[in-house]
Amino acid sequence: MTKLPNKPKRILLAEDSAVMRQLIRSWLGNNRGYDIVGQARDGKEAAEMAAKFQPDLVLMDLFMGDYDGLYGVEQIMKSNCPCPILLLSAASQGEELLLKALAAGATDVLAKPSLRDGNLQHFGLELDQKIKAALATNLAQKPQAFASQAKHSFSTDLPYEMLLLGASTGGPATLEFILAQLPENWPLPIVIAQHMPQAFLPAFASRLQKLSKLKVSLAQNGERPKPNQVYLAPGDHHLLLRGIPNDYLFAWSQRTHPSYNYPSVDALFESAAEVIGKTLLGVLLTGMGSDGAKGLLAIKEAGGFTINQDEASSSIYGMPRAAQEIGASRRELSLSAIPPFLVQLLDME
C-alpha cells in the first residue's frame, strides 16, 4: 500500500512588519511541511483568523498596533479552538509583556533577528526547530494558579546539598509552579538551566522572584552558590560547577557541547555530578529533544537522586522521555507531586 504524504501543518502568521512577513513566508515556503493559511497584522485580527481557520499553530509577533501579541494569545487560548502559539519578539524590548504572554498560554518564544545582522539563515533554521517543538505541545497541561508555601521544619542534618532543575519548551510556567510551591525557607541552592534567550532572562528572574519568596538571580561566573537562593543559567553560555566537594563555584563556558542549546542542561548536570555527586537532587522537566537525559544519568550514577516529570503533566514529553529510556530517573512524577516530594526527600535522614 502506498503511504500517503503527511498533510502540511497549517500556520497562521501574525506580524505587522511587511518585511518580516515576507521573510517568514519565504522561509516557511521552502519547507513543504508548512502551509500559511492566513496573515494577521495585530492580535485582534489574529484571534479572529484563528477562530476562522483553526490553524495547527500561530506564529505571533509580540508588538503589533493597537492589539498586541498578548491580547492575541489571551483571546486564542480562551477560545473554543486554542492552539500552540510561538511568539516572535525583539530581544531589546518587551520582556515583561513576553512573560505575561507565556503565562497566558503561549508555548515558546523566538528572538527576532536584526535585518542588518546577516544571520538570517540561522534564524530560519531555529524557526523551523521551534515550530516543530511547538506543534508537539500538549496544551491540556498548563500549570494552574498556585500560592507560595509557608515555612517548613527542615532537619539540620540534610541528606542533599543542591537542587538542579532543567527545562525547555513549557519550562517557564512549570518552573514558576515549582518555585512557588516550595517553602520559603527551602535550605538548598537551586540551580536552573532553562532554554531561553539571554535578553529575556533578567525579566524571567524578576517574575520568578515575585512568585517565590526565595531570592532569584542570574548565576555569575566565579560565584559561590548559597543556600535558600535560586540561580538561573545564562542564555548565552553553558553554566558549570567547578571545584571539589564542599568548595565549588559557578563557571561560564562557551565550549562546544553535544547539546545544541545554551544553556545546556547536560553540561550543568554532568559538571555538578562530577563535583558534588551523591548529595545532588536532579529534576528534568518538560521540553523537546534529549538535553538533560545524559546529565540526569550522570547524577544517578554518582549516587544522587533523580526525578523526571511525567508525560501527562508535561507540555512536551521529550527530554523526560529520553531520561526514562536510558534509565536515568529514579522517580517519574506529575508536576503537582514534584514540590512536596522534594520537601519529603529533605526530611529523610
Which region, left, alpha or beta, applies to residue 321 given φ > 0 means left and ψ of -120 to 50 means alpha? alpha
Q: Are residues 334 and 211 in the same domain?
A: yes
**Active centre residues (catalytic):** 168, 195, 291
Could you tell me which of 281, 280, 233, 279 has the C-alpha nearest to residue 259?
233
Tens of pLDDT along 237-255? Answer: 899 999 998 899 999 997 7
Q: How confident is the model at residue 345 (pLDDT cuts 50, 70, 90)?
A: very high
Q: Are residues 45 and 125 in the same domain?
A: yes
Q: What is the mean pLDDT of the chain?
A: 90
pLDDT computed for residue 1 by the predictor:
47
- Residue 224, phi then psi, degrees to nearest 5: -95, 120
Q: Within a domain: residue 2? A: no
Q: Are residues 213 and 311 in the same domain?
A: yes
The Cα-based distances of 159 to 41, 153, 215, 267, 280 in angstroms read 55, 15, 22, 24, 9
b/e map of 4-39 (b: 16 or more CB within 10 Å)? eeeeebbbbbbbbbeebbebbeebbeeeeebebbbb
pTM: 0.87
Q: Are residues 104 and 181 in the same domain?
A: no
Q: What's the number of CA atoms in the CB half-sphere (13 Å) around residue 120?
A: 11
Q: Are residues 25 and 167 in the same domain?
A: no
Whole-angstrom distance, CA of residue 241 vs CA of residue 46:
45
Domain that holds residue 186: 162-347
Q: Are residues 228 and 112 in the same domain?
A: no
Could you tell me which of 100, 87, 111, 65 has the C-alpha nearest to residue 13?
87
Whole-angstrom distance, CA of residue 184 vs CA of residue 307:
22
Q: Within a domain: residue 179? A: yes
Q: Are residues 114 and 211 in the same domain?
A: no
Terminal Cα-to-Cα distance of the chain (whole angstroms):
61
Q: Are residues 124 and 168 in the same domain?
A: no
Q: Are residues 199 and 308 in the same domain?
A: yes
Q: Within a domain: residue 146? A: no
- DSSP track, 309-331: E-TTT-SSBSHHHHHHHTT--SE
Whole-angstrom distance, CA of residue 266 vs CA of residue 348:
27
Q: Are residues 93 and 215 in the same domain?
A: no
Q: Within a domain: residue 280? A: yes
Q: What is the 3-state secondary structure (H, E, C) of 222-244?
A: CCCCCCCEEEECCCCCEEEEEEE
pLDDT of 343 over the 60 cut: yes
Whichever domain contains 111, its CATH number is 3.40.50.2300
Cβ-based neighbours of 3, under 8 Å, separated by 6 or more:
none
Tens of pLDDT along 30-77? Answer: 776 899 999 999 999 999 999 999 999 999 999 998 899 999 999 999
Q: Are residues 263 and 317 in the same domain?
A: yes
Q: Within a domain: residue 26? A: yes
Q: Within a domain: residue 228? A: yes
Q: Are residues 131 and 56 in the same domain?
A: yes
Number of independent structural domains in the chain? 2
Q: Within a domain: residue 142? A: no
pLDDT computed for residue 271 by the predictor:
97
Whole-angstrom distance, CA of residue 163 vs CA of residue 27:
41
Tens of pLDDT along 98-150? Answer: 888 988 889 988 888 877 666 677 788 888 888 998 998 888 766 665 666 67
The Cα-based distances of 135 to 10, 214, 270, 290 in angstroms read 10, 34, 30, 17
Whichever domain contains 291, its CATH number is 3.40.50.180
Q: Within a domain: residue 263? A: yes
